[in-house]
């Protein structure tokens, strides 16, 4: 794992400043290349081939490479290249990437199995290429204003070279979902290279091309055969993630996905280290499940309980860890468990993200489907009439002795108006509704039809929800969280569930093998039965939530007073009204206040 930066023109001093801002991504080595056309920089976290021979920027013939990530099948590609006459000076996967591009050009990307974001400069063309992995495990931002081009692994590095103007649409996305979806970043003129894409820059213009995408094409398959085939793919994909010349550990929550990763690796490789985070607040603490799994499989296990004082410390640093407004509060325990792994001497950690999006793990899928199924039985005219009636009677109904009545009525009124599964699902996962965003920010986000939901009867509606999350929530929330939290401690996070062959196989599975007889992740649980007793598999899912509501009811509530000053963009009177309701005991979605707090903390840190 590493950090990469670049800027058009001969500007090594600027590149050095950009690298300094992301030094945590690569404390082992640093290098800069510069010529009249481009300046490239690299900071290295040595994982494969720890010797100086893996130094970057790496040059071969007319090509220069800066690479972040891992190519897990690099040894097979290396053998293929050696058969064609290529020789190698190092044992690094980076050299394989460079020479694979020399041999096959952009088509080399189809051979790579791994996580990556890298740049290759062709001095003869002259042209710069940027590539990002299929799922979006590794980040890559870029800026092009028609004259100057720049890129970096993290947004903070580009703050050295771009105007810091807030993109109100991106801010609205953050306030609605807790993360900034898809291409935009919080700054105008800075974009994220999307997963499965590469970019070509010929020093006058840029061109984007897609080389991979998620394809939902359900195929008929017998259950036992699917279990066996997926099991083999998991063993193969997980084994690739053990390729390392540094110590490896596993984040173990005790849920299905992390238990499967830990159990499979312990059985096939042995002597793994596992790490679990718990909470003093018992309603949130599932560390006992992680410990039970660790005891059963025999891993060397560490449990860390997150105390309120530690949470306060991390929260103060939240906007340093996440250099773009980021609202997933589980980033706090993820940061802490990464620190625990680092202190234990581990340099590579395996997480288990992706299982929910691929195998129907989130409760919100069946909640949305069950509610939507009932609503869609009601004729449109009656639904709209009901929504209008709730609008009229709402001020009176909220006084009924029913908990959170005002919130429930507003939600029901909103979903009654929705025409499609996509609109209903986006309503279900939104924190600020469109009308509230207009009051807060003066922005109403346009509805953008999603191609997976547009497949209609070809797929189950919950498949559409899963695909939406795979393309949005997974790369822009979950993977951002793990990348920044691990990199803050200079350790590498790997995602074995997101091997692209596992992803492609999951996309072909019939829905009834993902959700069956009321069981989410049905096929994963059947595989896990070969490793763990049923009582550790078939239990209620808790998720990786933290007691943020309780914390803000207590000592952490003072942060609102500290940061909720007037704002040039946000209507803070509206926010302070929400805060007053929260403090008076009325129901308020705590994320509404948390997201604004995160933005205000980020604003004070970076603007």
- 2 catalytic? Reply is yes
d(CA 451, CA 134): 18
Which is nearest to 106 in space by CA: 209, 5, 192?
Answer: 209
CB atoms closer than 10 angstroms to residue 71: 27
d(CA 229, CA 222): 11
Residues in the chain: 607
Q: What angle do CA 275, 276, 279 make, to 5 degrees?
A: 150
- Residues 252-263 as b/e (b if ≥16 CB within 10 A, e otherwise) read bbbbbbbbbbbb
For the record, the structure tokens of 431 come out as 């924190």
**324 exposed, middle or buried (CB, 10 Å; 0-12, 13-18, 19+)?**
buried
d(CA 36, CA 401): 72
d(CA 53, CA 482): 28
Q: Is 197 helix (H, G, I), strand (E, B) or coil?
A: strand
For the record, the structure tokens of 11 come out as 């500007």
φ/ψ of 40, rounded to 5, equals: -125, 145
Please report, for the chain, how many H helices and E strands are present, in that order: 27, 19
**What does 355-393 look like in DSSP terms, one character per residue?**
HHHHHT--HHHHHHHHHHHHHHTS-HHHHHHHHHHHHHH
Give me the catalytic one of 1, 2, 171, 190. Answer: 2
d(CA 83, CA 104): 14
Q: Is 81 helix (H, G, I), strand (E, B) or coil?
A: helix
Which is nearest to 292 in space by CA: 543, 546, 547, 531?
Answer: 531
- Side by side, which strands form the sheet with 300-306? 300-306, 273-279, 248-251, 348-350, 492-494
**What does 12-48 look like in DSSP terms, one character per residue?**
HHHHHHHHHHTGGG-BTEEEEEE-SSEEEEEEE---S
For the record, the structure tokens of 235 come out as 């063993």
Q: Is 131 helix (H, G, I), strand (E, B) or coil?
A: strand
Task: Please identify every residue annotated as catalytic.
Answer: 2
């Amino acid at each position: 794992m590493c950090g990469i930066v670049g800027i058009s023109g001969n500007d090594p001093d600027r590149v050095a400043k950009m690298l300094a801002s992301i030094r945590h991504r690569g404390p082992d080595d640093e290098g800069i290349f510069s010529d009249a056309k481009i300046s490239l920089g690299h900071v290295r976290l040595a994982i494969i081939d720890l010797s100086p021979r893996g130094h970057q920027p790496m040059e071969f013939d007319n090509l220069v490479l800066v690479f972040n990530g891992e190519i897990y099948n690099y040894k097979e590609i290396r053998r293929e290249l050696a058969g064609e006459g290529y020789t190698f000076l190092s044992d690094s996967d980076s050299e394989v990437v460079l020479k694979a591009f020399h041999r096959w050009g952009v088509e080399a990307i189809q051979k790579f199995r791994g996580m990556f974001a890298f740049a290759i400069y062709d001095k003869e063309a002259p042209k710069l290429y940027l590539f990002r992995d299929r799922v979006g495990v590794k980040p890559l931002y870029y800026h092009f204003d028609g004259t100057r081009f720049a890129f970096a692994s993290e947004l903070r590095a580009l703050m050295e070279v771009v105007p810091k103007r807030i993109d109100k649409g991106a801010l609205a996305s953050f306030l609605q979902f807790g993360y900034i979806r898809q291409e935009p970043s919080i700054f105008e003129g800075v974009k994220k290279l999307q997963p499965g894409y590469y970019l070509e820059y010929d020093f006058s213009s840029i061109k984007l091309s897609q080389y991979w995408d998620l394809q939902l094409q359900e195929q008929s398959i017998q259950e036992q055969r699917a279990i066996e085939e997926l099991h083999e793919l998991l063993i193969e994909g997980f084994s690739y993630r053990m390729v390392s010349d540094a110590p490896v550990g596993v984040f173990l929550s005790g849920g299905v996905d992390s238990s499967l990763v830990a159990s499979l690796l312990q059985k096939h490789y042995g002597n793994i280290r596992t790490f679990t985070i718990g909470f003093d607040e018992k309603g949130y603490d599932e560390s006992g499940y992680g410990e039970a799994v660790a005891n059963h499989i025999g891993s060397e296990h560490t449990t860390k309980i997150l105390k309120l004082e530690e949470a306060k410390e991390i929260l103060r640093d939240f906007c340093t860890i996440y250099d773009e407004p980021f609202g997933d509060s589980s980033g706090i325990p993820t940061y802490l468990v990464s620190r625990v792994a680092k202190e234990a001497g581990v340099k590579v950690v395996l997480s288990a993200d992706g299982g929910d999006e691929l195998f129907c793990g989130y409760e919100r899928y069946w909640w949305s489907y069950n509610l939507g199924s009932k609503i869609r039985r009601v004729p449109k005219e009656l639904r709209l009439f009901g929504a209008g009636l709730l609008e009229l009677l709402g001020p009176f109904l909220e006084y009924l002795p029913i908990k959170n009545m005002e919130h429930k009525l507003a939600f029901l009124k909103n979903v009654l108006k929705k025409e499609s599964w996509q609109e209903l699902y986006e309503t279900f996962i939104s924190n600020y509704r469109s009308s509230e965003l207009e009051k807060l920010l003066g922005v109403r986000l346009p509805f953008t039809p999603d191609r997976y939901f547009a497949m209609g009867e070809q797929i189950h509606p919950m498949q559409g929800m899963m695909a939406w999350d795979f393309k949005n929530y997974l790369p822009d929330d979950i993977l951002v969280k793990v990348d920044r939290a691990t990199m803050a401690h200079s350790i590498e996070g790997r995602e074995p569930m997101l091997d692209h062959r596992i992803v492609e196989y999951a996309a072909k599975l019939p829905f009834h093998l993902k959700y069956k007889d009321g069981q989410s992740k049905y096929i994963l649980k059947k595989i896990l039965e070969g490793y763990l007793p049923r009582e550790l598999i078939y239990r209620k899912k808790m998720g990786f939530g933290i007691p943020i509501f309780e914390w803000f009811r207590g000592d952490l509530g003072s942060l609102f007073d500290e940061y909720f000053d007037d704002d040039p963009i946000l209507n803070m009177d509206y926010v302070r009204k929400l805060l007053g309701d929260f403090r008076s005991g009325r129901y308020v979605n705590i994320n509404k206040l948390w997201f604004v707090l995160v933005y205000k903390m980020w604003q004070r840190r970076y603007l």
